[in-house]
Amino acid sequence: MAELPPVTEEEFGRLCEFLYRRTGMIFTEAKRYYVERRVHDRMEATRATSFASYFARLRSDLDGEIEQFVNAFTVNETYFFREDHQLRCLTTDLLKRRIAVKPRNEAVRIWSMPCSTGEEPYSIAVWMLENWAEVDAWDIEIIGSDIDTRVLEAAREGLYGQRALMRLTPDLIEKYFEPAPGDRWRILQDLRDSVRFTTANVMEAAETAAHGRFDVIFCRNMLIYFDDTSRRVAAENLFESLLPGGYICLGHTESMSRISPLFEVCRYADAIVYQRPLGGARG
Amino acid sequence: MRTPSSINGLWGVRVADTASRRILVVDDASLVRMYYRNALERAGYEVDEALNGLEALEKLLVRAPDLLIVDVNMPKMDGFTFLRALRRQEGDVAATPAMITSTEAKTEDFEAAQSAGANFYLVKPIPQETLIDYVAMLCGPAR
Checking if the pLDDT of A1 tops 50, the result is no
A146 — pLDDT class (breaks 50, 70, 90): very high
Q: By three-state DSSP, how is residue B142 classified? A: coil
Average pLDDT of span A221-238: 89
A20 — pLDDT class (breaks 50, 70, 90): confident
A194·B31 Cβ contact <8 A: yes
Q: One fold for both A9-73 and A84-275?
A: no
- State residue A83's pLDDT score: 84
B103·A137 Cβ contact <8 A: yes
Average pLDDT, chain B: 88
A222 — pLDDT class (breaks 50, 70, 90): confident
Q: Does A123 contact chain B (CB < 8 Å)? A: no
Checking if the pLDDT of A56 tops 60, the result is yes
Helix axis angle for A51-59 and A65-73, nearest 10°, is 110
Residue numbers in A near B127 (CB within 8 A): 133
**Contact (Cβ atoms closer than 8 angstroms) between residue B128 and residue B121:** no
- State residue A121's pLDDT score: 98
Average pLDDT of span A249-263: 88
Checking if the pLDDT of A188 tops 90, the result is yes
State the burial class of residue A172 (Cβ atoms within 10 Å of its Cβ: 0-12, 13-18, 19+): middle
Q: Does A171 contact chain B (CB < 8 Å)? A: no
CATH code of the region A84-275? 3.40.50.150
Residue numbers in B near A175 (CB within 8 A): 38
Please tell me which residue of chain A has the smallest CA distance to B129.
A133
CA distance linking residue A211 with residue A220, whole number of Å: 18
Which residues 176-215 in chain A show a CB within 8 A of chain B?
A: 188-191, 193-194
Residue numbers in A near B103 (CB within 8 A): 104, 137-138
B124·A136 Cβ contact <8 A: yes
CATH topology classification for A9-73:
Chemotaxis Receptor Methyltransferase Cher; domain 1 (1.10.155)
CA dihedral A139, A140, A143, A144 (to 10 degrees): -160
- State residue B126's pLDDT score: 96
Structural domain boundaries of chain B? Answer: 18-138
Structural domain boundaries of chain A? Answer: 9-73, 84-275
Nearest CA distance, B26 vs chain A (angstrom): 13
Checking if the pLDDT of B4 tops 50, the result is no
- State residue B10's pLDDT score: 42
Checking if the pLDDT of B8 tops 50, the result is no
Q: Which of A27-41, B71-85, B99-113 has the lowest mean pLDDT?
A: A27-41
B29·A140 Cβ contact <8 A: yes
- State residue A87's pLDDT score: 96
Checking if the pLDDT of B17 tops 80, the result is no
CA distance linking residue A160 with residue A182, whole number of Å: 10
Tell me what ipTM this predicted complex has: 0.79
Looking at the partner chain, which of A104, A139, A175 has a beta carbon nearest the beta carbon of B29? A139
What CATH architecture does domain B18-138 belong to?
3-Layer(aba) Sandwich (3.40)
- State residue A213's pLDDT score: 98
Looking at the partner chain, which of B34, B126, B127 has a beta carbon nearest the beta carbon of A190? B34
CA distance linking residue A29 with residue A35, whole number of Å: 9
What pairing do the DSSP bridges indicate for beta strands A159-160 and A184-187? antiparallel
- State residue B114's pLDDT score: 94
Whether the predicted model's global pTM rises above the 0.90 cut: no
- State residue B19's pLDDT score: 62
State the burial class of residue A184 (Cβ atoms within 10 Å of its Cβ: 0-12, 13-18, 19+): middle
